[in-house]
């Protein structure tokens, strides 16, 4: 699976016991794989960076996310450059 940088609108849901926070990021850079998911090895780091202003004690929370809209992909841009050569 290849990874690429995407500019996306993303919705993150953070849960801790009975507390739920919903965070929406618009036009945020995220690394995604071919299936439009954050790769497992990058997931913790990226979620931590996206929620650092809203979530303290990151380890106490569980996270789910949904990519709402792709706006740009470096992978598509890179493929076009390769095809033109």
Domain spans of the chain, in order of start = 4-84
Task: Of 45, 67, 44, 48, give the one whose Cα is nearest residue 56.
Answer: 48
Question: Sign of dihedral through CA atoms 14, 45, 38, 52?
Answer: positive
For the cut 90, the answer to whether the pLDDT of residue 55 exceeds it is: yes
Specify which of 6-20, 25-39, 67-81 reaches the highest per-range mean pLDDT: 6-20
64 CB contacts (<8 Å, ≥6 apart)? 12, 13, 15
Please give the sequence-ordered ranges of beta strands (E in DSSP) within the chain, or none if there are none: 4-16, 19-32, 62-73
């Amino acid at each position: 699976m290849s990874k690429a940088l995407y500019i996306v609108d993303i919705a993150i849901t953070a849960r801790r016991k009975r507390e739920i926070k919903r965070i929406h990021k618009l036009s945020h850079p995220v690394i995604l794989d071919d299936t439009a998911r954050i790769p497992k090895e990058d997931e913790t780091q990226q979620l931590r960076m996206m929620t650092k202003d809203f979530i303290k004690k990151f380890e106490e929370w569980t996270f789910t996310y949904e990519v709402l809209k792709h706006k740009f992909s470096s992978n598509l841009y890179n493929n076009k450059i390769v095809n033109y050569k």
